[in-house]
Amino acid sequence: MFSLIGFSVGSEQKLFEDLFEGYNKRVRPVKNFTHAVNVLFNVRVTQIADVDERNQVLKTNAWTYQEWTDETLVWDPADYDGLSEIRVPATEVWLPDITLYNNADSHDYVADNTSSSNAIVSYEGRVILKSKPTLLKSTCKIYVKYFPFDAQACKLKFGSWTFSGLQINLLNHSSKPNLDDYILNEQWQLVRAQTERHVKEYDCCPETYIDVTFFLCLSRKPMYYIYNLIIPCLLLCALALTGFFMPYSVGVVKASISVTLILSLTVFLLLVAEMMPRTSEEIPLIGQYYLATMCLISLSTAMNVAVLNVHGCRREVPQWIRLIVLRYLAAFVCMGKCCSEPGALYRAMGKEKTDQNNCKNSSILHLRDNSLHGLKNDSRHTMSSYQELTLDDFGQSKFGKIEHHVEQIFRHLKTVQRRMDKKSNIREQWACVAAVLDKALMYLFFLATVVTTLYLLLQDPGDPDELCLQSIANGVL
């Protein structure tokens, strides 16, 4: 047994010494320099590690496969005890300088992981080189318009760095990258993987250069962003409607709630800005939605302040406001009955307490009027009796003056009562105007919020597969 092992090792060592005696790995392995070396190339993608939107970098776990024919590394297996292939360090054979064109790192992972592996050499001169698994970092143009419902088309472009198409004929091994060991990503779904071979002329050189490009079309899974970004914003918009239902007695609190909501939206907008690349070409729809929502809530704050000012007015309601607001707009928002009966409006708005106070004041004035009227009658009766009893001591003119003063007091109280009734009526009219405006503005805010949400968040980004094919056909990648 030990003799057989020693015999096999001796054959392999002898083959290695014979093959690489006088072998020059610095030149192309062709006997005729006009012939090109055909190199088959493929990538085995195992995982989409990450898509860095901010830096526009795609991180992919993969390893490369290369195959070519070395015309100087051929032998007859019969001369070496039937040995048909041998594994040698990749640094001992000629290697095509295949590199990742759109590499996003200063480190050349393809070259380093290839040279550290072993090459499989067959007796026909075929060389197979499989690199070690590595993390490829490639640039990828990120389109953030439809975030988080977007789809991205990234590429891995491989080609020779110095050899033209006349010296290395780079061929794609298959029509798509190898995905046999692909691990699903929790954030991105791989909808298409395609391989394209390109022959291109560059401005620097007159020769044509060949590259093999692997396109990876990714569709984002939006569930995480729906729960953490979109639903909170919708809840904040719904909460902004509560400002229109708050009573006017709370005063500035009716407007301060909108300011708090704007600050909350600002925090969410900063989170979105941290995820997106710093580009001025386009703003993501979710960013536009946050900005539009902030504008709407700011307008609702201004609306609430305006309604509070209207509610606090004390001058006479102009005729044009009566016509436009209390007649047409009130009927439009289904408040015509309340505005025709201010007392009913107060009861509908929960202003019983105010009505009770007004009733108390009216009762007091009525009681005062009755008391004074009774006092007047009692005074007349008393004065008549007193006049009958002591007519000689008091003159008729004294009773006339007292009666005159009492009548002046009665007239003054009636004037005050009329003024109070007029002011109360004016307050009720302005309260009705404020209520109509508040309800109309609430409907307007609700309609604008719904239209903005549907327009921005329901835009169809299109089928990711068709977008990928269109991007490949247009050559934008």
Residue 385 has pLDDT above 70, yes or no: no
Tally the domains of the chain: 2
Mean pLDDT of 192-217: 88
Average pLDDT of 347-360?
A: 43
Per cent of the chain over pLDDT 70 is: 80
User: Is 227 inside a domain boundary?
Assistant: no
Q: Which span out of 31-40, 264-273, 454-463 was modeled with the highest average pLDDT?
A: 31-40
Say which residue, 310 or 422, is predicted with more confidence: 310
| 209, 160 contact by CB (below 8 A) | yes
> Are the C-beta atoms of 57 and 139 separated by less than 8 Å?
yes
Q: Is the pLDDT of residue 47 over 90?
A: yes
- This prediction has a pTM of 0.71
User: Which domain CATH number covers 36?
Assistant: 2.70.170.10
- Do residues 261 and 408 both lie within one domain? yes
Of 307 and 198, the structure prediction assigns the larger pLDDT to: 198
In a domain, 72, yes or no: yes
Residue 28: its pLDDT value, please?
A: 92
SS3 of 224, please? helix
Question: Are 187 and 329 contained in the same domain?
Answer: no
Looking at the predicted structure, is the pLDDT value of residue 475 above 70? no
Count of other CB atoms within 10 angstroms of residue 275: 17
- Classify burial at 367, counting beta carbons within 10 Å of its beta carbon; exposed 0-12, middle 13-18, buried 19 or more: exposed
Helix (H, G, I), strand (E, B) or coil at 383: helix
Q: Are residues 174 and 249 in the same domain?
A: no
Does residue 129 have a pLDDT over 90?
A: yes
Q: Are residues 245 and 163 in the same domain?
A: no
Residue percentage of the chain with pLDDT more than 90: 25
459 pLDDT more than 70: yes
Report whether pLDDT(377) > 60: no
Q: What is the mean pLDDT of residues 51-69?
A: 92
The pLDDT value recorded for residue 121 is: 94
Residue 323, pLDDT above cutoff 60: yes
Retrieve residue 140's tokens. 């990828």
Within-domain flag for 8: no
| Domain membership of residue 349 as a residue range | 239-457
Q: 208 with 274, same domain?
A: no
User: What pLDDT, on the 0 to 100 scale, is given for residue 318?
Assistant: 77
Q: How confident is the model at residue 444 (pLDDT cuts 50, 70, 90)?
A: confident
Is 127 among the domain residues? yes
Final residue of a domain: which of 163, 192, 221? 221
Same domain, residue pair 169 and 284: no
The mean per-residue pLDDT over the stretch 106-127 comes to 82
State mean pLDDT over 190-209: 87
pLDDT of residue 397: 64
Helix axes 253-275, 231-240, angle to 10 degrees: 160
Sign of the Cα torsion 363, 368, 373, 378 reads positive
Query: Is residue 466, in this structure, part of any structural domain at all?
Result: no
Whether 193 is in a domain gets the answer yes
User: Is residue 261's pLDDT more than 60?
Assistant: yes
Residues 263 and 384 both lie in one domain: yes
Which carries the bigger pLDDT value, residue 245 or residue 345? 245
Confidence of residue 409 (pLDDT cuts 50, 70, 90): confident
Q: Are 265 and 403 found together in one domain?
A: yes
Question: What pLDDT is stored for residue 352 in this prediction?
Answer: 39
Residue 233 belongs to a domain: no
User: What DSSP state is assigned to residue 165?
Assistant: T
Q: Are residues 289 and 367 in the same domain?
A: yes
Same domain, 192 and 339: no
* Least confident interval from 92-96, 180-184, 350-354, 369-373: 350-354
Looking at the fold, whether 341 and 266 belong to one and the same domain comes out as yes
CB 439 within 8 A of CB 333: yes
Query: 386 falls in which pLDDT band (50, 70, 90)?
Result: very low
Is the pLDDT assigned to residue 308 strictly greater than 80?
A: no
Same domain, 245 and 336: yes
Look at the block and give the residue holding tokens 């004065």. Answer: 383
* Rounded mean pLDDT, 255-267: 83
Which one-letter DSSP state was computed for residue 151?
E
Instruction: Check whether 250 has a pLDDT greater than 90.
Output: no
What is the average pLDDT value for the chain, to the nearest integer? 79
pLDDT score, position 144: 84
| Residue 228: inside a domain | no
Last residue of a domain, one of 177, 192, 221: 221
- For residues 258 and 272, the answer to whether their CB atoms sit within 8 Å is no
**Across residues 293-311, what is the average pLDDT?**
81
Please enumerate in sequence order all residues whose Cβ is within 8 A of that of 189, keeping only pairs 6 or more positions apart, or say none: 218, 219, 220, 221
